[in-house]
Amino acid sequence: MIISELKPLEELQQALAEFDKLFLVGCAACATTCKSGGEEEIFKLQEWLTEQEKTVTGSVVIDEACHIMRAARDLRHHKNAVQEADAMVVLACGSGVQSISSTIEKRVVGGLNSMFLGNVRRFGHYEEMCSLCGDCILNETAGICPVTTCAKGLLNGPCGGMEDGHCEADAEIECAWRLIYERLQKQNRQGVFARRVPPKNWSRRRQPGRYRLKDGGR
Amino acid sequence: MSHLSTQLASGQFVVTAEIAPPKGTNLAPALAEAAKFEGITAVNVTDNQGANMRLSSLALAAQLQQAGTETVLQLTCRDRNRMALQSDLLGAAAFGIENLLLLSGDHSKFGDHPDARPVFDLDSVQLLDMTAGLMAGFDMVGKPLDGVPNFFPGAAVNPAAEPFELMFQKVSKKIDSGARFFQTQSIFDRDALERFMAAMIPLNVPVVAGVLLIRNAKMARFLNDNIPGVKVPKVLLDRFDRAVDPLAEGVAIARETVGWARELCQGVHLMTLGHEDKIPAILA
């Protein structure tokens, strides 16, 4: 899921300074799970905005804010409250914010910073394991992604900064290449160490990404 | 042919030193410092060392070459994508630079621009491969070059890294990708160096051992806390703590390390960080 966190309140205060009446939008998918934009956070935001002497005209938690058409449909159900507002405050990832900003004429204020595609280690602990590079090497690296979990994204083994098997950029993190090496050893195979890995094809990750299912997904 | 490559090929024990480009455009101190080096085969010119922004290593290396000092140009993958790396290498060749030390580079978070986006479009193995390609007359996409560079590419290694086999598989890859010599991370442990050299001998690629002049206990502890891949062992920390003249102790330790290198390696790389006047004593 997409891991996001609430922007610093001072930043939000500034972004909302010119508006009095606000409509709040959350997201029932990732932002709910990582407790940045679910029902509870929308409620807290409403309380805070009231303290700031703003008027909240209404709110909705959209099923998946990243779904442009559904987001538009859900907002239509709150037409009057949306109409009444000077601006929308969206507690969803950057994708969600842009679903809203592309379907409505009103000013849209994003309340979160989107951070990464995260795995849940345990409740409230998220880790980035995949950076959506479009050119997956996991089958050779025993299911551990060096593009993401090596701080430098190296493809041919650890850098000279590995210390006692830990990462130079964060001593609390185990070196991705040490983990790959140990798991491949357990699996009794050479995997990625059997070859020199050529430079990565970053054209697979050209932005903005576009993808369409063949035959329209039928 | 660079002096470094011919001396290593002939089995002569080589000595390299290191110079950092200035923060700013004043090259005079660096050029004056280089002119003072004696008995040095080539001088490494560092590339935004420790991820601190400085004048480009290529610009200072070019000036040093013109002044008659042979250089080893250090080039890291941290600050340039594959296009910039290729064009800088061709530029280096145009200035007569042959010796290269091709590195991944310390992470940007260690330096004075921690908010910078680290590049790492290539890693050091891929950078070596690309350099071999340029020397064969082709860029990374196979387009022919008009004028082909002649380089003596080198790579870095930390002989004390653990797990040893994991570190060493990368050494093998670097050799397969055209590394013609290695310069090592600072050596503090003779046993680790011996084990590494035992594995290197069959591969027949010369190793220039890194020797860092440590001034005092404070510097040793700073290195341990802040410099990736550098671990000054406790026995040396104790020696600095006991020493009446810590700098003299540092010179003595460096001289002992040079002694190990004379026995086991093909040269030494001296990192004296402003104490270039101590080089004769370290080599004595």
| pLDDT (tens digit per residue) in A158-187 | 999 998 899 999 989 999 999 999 999 999
**Radius of gyration over alpha carbons of chain B, in Å?**
18
Q: Do A109 and A13 belong to one domain?
A: yes
Cβ pair B42, B74 in contact under 8 A = no
Q: Do A99 and A39 belong to one domain?
A: yes
Number of domains composing chain B: 1
Asked if the structure places residue A155 within a domain, the reply is yes
Cα–Cα distance for residue pair B258/B75, rounded to 1 Å: 26
Largest Cα separation within chain A, whole Å, is 65
Q: Do A91 and A183 belong to one domain?
A: no
Q: Do A97 and A9 belong to one domain?
A: yes
Number of domains composing chain A: 2
Cβ contacts (< 8 Å) between B163 and chain A: which residues?
165, 178, 181
Q: Which residue of A has its CA nearest to B176?
A: A196
Asked if the structure places residue A174 within a domain, the reply is yes
Residue A215 pLDDT: 80
CA dihedral defined by B103, B109, B114, B118, rounded to 10 degrees? Answer: 40
Q: Do A103 and A157 belong to one domain?
A: no
- Alpha helices by DSSP H, listed for B41-188, are 57-66, 82-94, 124-135, 164-176
Q: Which residue of B has its CA nearest to A157?
A: B170
CA neighbor of B237 nearest in space, from B210, B251, B216: B216
The DSSP call for residue B184 is: E
As beta bridge partners, residue B184 has B157
Q: Do A149 and A177 belong to one domain?
A: yes
A152-176 burial string, b = 16+ CB within 10 Å, else e?
Answer: bbbbbbbbbbbbebebbbeeeebbb
Residue A47 pLDDT: 97
A198 has a chain B CB within 8 A of its CB? yes
Q: Do A106 and A146 belong to one domain?
A: no
Contact: B122, A199; criterion CB under 8 Å:
yes
The DSSP call for residue A133 is: -
A154 has a chain B CB within 8 A of its CB? yes
Residue B231 pLDDT: 86
Look up the ipTM and state it: 0.93
B residues 229-248 closer than 8 Å to A (CB): 229, 231
Mutate to test the interface with B, among A163, A178, A189 (most CBs of B within 10 A): A163
Asked if the structure places residue A125 within a domain, the reply is no
Domain containing A180: what range?
134-205
Residue A206 pLDDT: 85
Cα–Cα distance for residue pair B100/A209, rounded to 1 Å: 38
Q: Do A151 and A49 belong to one domain?
A: no
Positions of chain A with pLDDT under 50? none
DSSP string, A178-212: HHHHHHHHHTT--GGGGSPPPPP-GGGG-SS----
Domain containing B84: what range?
3-283
CA neighbor of B111 nearest in space, from B191, B52, B63, B45: B52
Asked if the structure places residue A121 within a domain, the reply is no
Per-residue pLDDT of chain B (284 residues; tens, 9 = 90+): 999 999 999 999 999 999 999 999 999 999 999 988 888 999 999 999 999 999 999 999 999 999 999 999 999 999 999 999 999 999 999 999 999 999 999 999 989 999 999 999 999 999 999 999 999 999 999 999 999 999 999 999 999 999 999 999 999 999 999 999 999 999 999 999 999 999 999 999 999 999 999 999 999 999 998 887 788 999 999 999 999 999 999 999 999 999 999 999 999 999 998 898 999 999 98
Residue A198 has its nearest CB partner, among B126, B170, B228, at B126
| Sign, CA torsion A195/B78/A2/A96 | negative
CATH number where B21 lies: 3.20.20.220
B84 has a chain A CB within 8 A of its CB? no
Q: Which of A115, A142, A159 is the last residue of a domain?
A: A115
The DSSP call for residue B177 is: T
Asked if the structure places residue A192 within a domain, the reply is yes
CA dihedral defined by B41, B64, B137, B86, rounded to 10 degrees? Answer: 120
Residue B82 pLDDT: 98
Q: Do A110 and A149 belong to one domain?
A: no
Name the residue with tokens 């950076």: A131
Mutate to test the interface with A, among B74, B120, B128, B141 (most CBs of A within 10 A): B120
B86 has a chain A CB within 8 A of its CB? no
Averaged pLDDT of chain A: 95
